[in-house]
C-alpha cells in the first residue's frame, strides 16, 4: 500500500492470531544477587556481559554488540547512535564505577579501537546467548544469595534476559 502496488492491505481487518501479553517479571533482590554471583562465575565474554546488563539496565543488544568506540571512560558513559537504539535516537547509558571496572578488566580481541567489546573472534559480537543464559541459570540455582553452595539446586523462577532491564 505504501508503495502504491496495491490499493488496500488485505490483512488490515483480521484479528491478531493471539493475545499479546506484556511481561511484568522483575527479579527479587535475592534472585538478582544470585544471578550476579552466577554471572561472576561465568568466564568472559558472558559473565562480564551479564554483569554489565545488571549494572546499566541496558538492552541485551546494546551490551552484547557493544563496540569499544561507543565507550567513553572519561565521561563514564556508553554513547549509542540512533542505528543501535530501539527508538532510532542517540542514547547515552551512564556507567557507574563498578561498570567502569568491568570494562577496564576486559580483554581486547581483534580491532582495538572499534572492535566489539564482547567477542570471541574479534570480528563479530558474541552469539550463543541462550546457552549462556541456561548456564547462568544452572549456576544461580546452585547458590544462595550469600553465595553458599546449595546441597540441592533451587532454580530461580523463570526469567528472561530483558527482565534484568525491567528490574533495574
Cell numbers at 31, concatenated:
534472585
Measured CA to CA in angstroms, residue 96 lies from 6, 13, 21, 101 at distances of 52, 48, 33, 9
Give the orientation angle of helix 129-141 with respect to helix 29-41, to 10 degrees. 110
Looking at the predicted structure, is the pLDDT value of residue 34 above 80? yes
Q: Is the dihedral of CA 119, 158, 19, 24 positive or negative?
A: negative
CB neighbours of 27 closer than 8 A, spacing ≥ 6?
35, 156, 159, 163, 164, 167
Q: Which of 15-19, 39-43, 62-66, 157-161 has the lowest mean pLDDT?
A: 15-19
Query: What number is the average pLDDT over the span 76-94?
Result: 95
User: pTM here?
Assistant: 0.85
16 exposure class (CB count in 10 Å sphere: 0-12, 13-18, 19+): exposed
- pLDDT band of 17, cuts 50, 70, 90: confident
The mean of the pLDDT values for the chain is 93
CB neighbours of 142 closer than 8 A, spacing ≥ 6?
38, 149, 150, 153
What is the predicted pLDDT for the residue at 13?
A: 82
Partners of residue 164 on adjacent β-strands: none
- pLDDT band of 69, cuts 50, 70, 90: very high
Amino acid at each position: 500500500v505504501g508503495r502504491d502496488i496495491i490499493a488496500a492491505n488485505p490483512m488490515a481487518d483480521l484479528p491478531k492470531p493471539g493475545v499479546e501479553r506484556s511481561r511484568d517479571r522483575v527479579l527479587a533482590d535475592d534472585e538478582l544477587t544470585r544471578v550476579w554471583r552466577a554471572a561472576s562465575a561465568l568466564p568472559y565474554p558472558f559473565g562480564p556481559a551479564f554483569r554489565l546488563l545488571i549494572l546499566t539496565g541496558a538492552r541485551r543488544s546494546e551490551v552484547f554488540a557493544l563496540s569499544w568506540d561507543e565507550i567513553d571512560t572519561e565521561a563514564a558513559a556508553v554513547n549509542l547512535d540512533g542505528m543501535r537504539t530501539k527508538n532510532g535516537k542517540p542514547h547515552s547509558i551512564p556507567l557507574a564505577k563498578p561498570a567502569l571496572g568491568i570494562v577496564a578488566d576486559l580483554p581486547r580481541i581483534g580491532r582495538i579501537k572499534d572492535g566489539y567489546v564482547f567477542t570471541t573472534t574479534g570480528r563479530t559480537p558474541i552469539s550463543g546467548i541462550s546457552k549462556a543464559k541456561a548456564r547462568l541459570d544452572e549456576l544461580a540455582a546452585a547458590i544462595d544469595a550469600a553465595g553458599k553452595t546449595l546441597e540441592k539446586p533451587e532454580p530461580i523462577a523463570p526469567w528472561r534476559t530483558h527482565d534484568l532491564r525491567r528490574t533495574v
